[in-house]
């Protein structure tokens, strides 16, 4: 940039109030990608750190960092509501964070003191929160301390909580869960079918894709039930425009027939650790790899990775959302 042009640009910027420049930088534009990626800083606890949401453009170029000083552990489960508000969770601190379209923090959503870590929105305005933890302890060694529900010696029940559009609790669904590899993972991710009543859900790293009828408040047969030693792992599910159920498998994404569970197409991603996925946007999904810290855009037509970035933090990236228009 020439000296004259540089001075002209800077002079133009100087005419704008700093707050306006900051708002322009922080605002979520259509197609922007938000990734929960806590800055881990406690050698004794591999889930504890300063809360952070990384803000990328659609091509995964870093635009901004949203710092969070009142969370304690991994920020996860990012999802945009139909009104454009971004939701995010700290299941350890029982916090549900919300951000407006301008990137500014809104009031937290106040829910029962449970380990909520994701939200699923229905077309009629209702929304569902999944309880992340279940049981009393992990059956595998951990380098973190799981929180008990206040006044109990239980981590949680793995239940689904249904709320009205204005945030009133309507029902606590007693959903059965698998527990995942550690036995403490509850209802960790879910997707609501187009009928508005069939919820597909997983227990992180577990070998089942479970189903629940939110209208009848009753369990449905699993879409997939594999043995614990089958080598099958399921993480985030999401429906695409063709009605296929996409589910992250650790090694990639499977596109499933939502009725039979048959694998219609596999999208291998090479390494293990892929766990979080955005809903599809323009025939693409964004994913994060918990172990490596990578994020990627996967084209669902070609199967190619069309954009990629490294968050620079391993064992932290735990939720990907794409800003609506």
Structure tokens of 113?
A: 């003191």
- Of 63, 105, 108, 65, residue with least CA distance to 89: 108
Supply the CATH classification number for the domain 16-322: 2.120.10.30
Query: Model confidence over 115-168: pLDDT tens digits?
Result: 999 999 999 999 999 999 999 999 999 999 999 999 999 999 999 999 999 999
**Whole-structure pTM over 0.85, yes or no?**
yes
Q: What are phi and psi of 132, to 5 degrees?
A: -75, -30
The DSSP result for 60-108, as a single string, is: --EEEEEEESS--B--EEEEE-TTS-EEEEETTTTEEEEE-TTS-B-PP
pLDDT in tens, 44-58: 999 999 999 999 999
How far is CA 243 from each of CA 137, 238, 246, 271, 282, rounded to the nearest angstrom?
A: 37, 10, 9, 27, 14
What is the Cα–Cα distance from 107 to 111, expressed in whole angstroms? 12
**Structure confidence at residue 5 (pLDDT):** 43
pLDDT per position as a tens digit, 87-112:
999 999 999 999 999 999 999 999 99
List, in sequence order, the alpha helices (H) in the chain: 3-14, 18-26
């Amino acid at each position: 940039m020439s000296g004259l042009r540089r001075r002209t640009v800077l002079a133009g910027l100087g005419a704008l109030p700093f707050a306006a420049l900051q708002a322009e930088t922080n605002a979520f534009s259509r197609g922007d990608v938000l990734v929960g990626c806590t800055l881990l800083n406690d050698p004794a606890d591999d889930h504890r750190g300063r809360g952070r949401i990384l803000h990328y453009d659609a091509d995964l170029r870093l635009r901004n960092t949203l710092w969070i000083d009142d969370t304690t552990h991994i920020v996860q489960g990012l999802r945009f509501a139909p009104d454009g508000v971004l939701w995010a969770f700290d299941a350890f601190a029982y916090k549900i964070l919300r951000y407006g379209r301008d990137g500014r923090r809104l009031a937290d959503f106040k829910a029962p003191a449970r380990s909520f870590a994701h939200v699923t929105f229905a077309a009629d305005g209702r929304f569902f929160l999944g309880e992340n933890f279940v049981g009393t302890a992990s059956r595998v060694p951990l380098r973190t301390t799981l929180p008990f529900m206040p006044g109990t010696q239980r981590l949680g029940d793995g239940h689904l909580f249904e709320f009205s559009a204005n945030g009133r609790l309507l029902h606590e669904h007693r959903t059965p869960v698998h527990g995942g590899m550690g036995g403490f993972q509850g209802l960790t991710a879910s997707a609501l079918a187009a009928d508005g009543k069939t919820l597909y859900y997983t227990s992180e790293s577990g070998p089942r894709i479970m189903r629940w009828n939110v209208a009848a408040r009753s369990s449905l047969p699993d879409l997939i039930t594999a043995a614990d030693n089958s080598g099958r792992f399921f993480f985030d599910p999401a429906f695409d425009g063709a009605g296929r159920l996409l589910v992250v498998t650790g090694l990639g994404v499977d596109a499933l027939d939502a009725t039979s569970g048959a694998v219609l197409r596999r999208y291998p991603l090479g390494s293990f650790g892929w766990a979080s996925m955005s809903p599809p946007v323009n025939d693409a999904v964004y994913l994060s790899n918990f172990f490596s810290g990578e994020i990627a855009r996967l084209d669902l037509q070609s199967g190619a990775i069309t954009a990629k970035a490294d968050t620079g933090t391993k064992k932290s990236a735990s939720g990907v959302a794409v800003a609506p228009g």
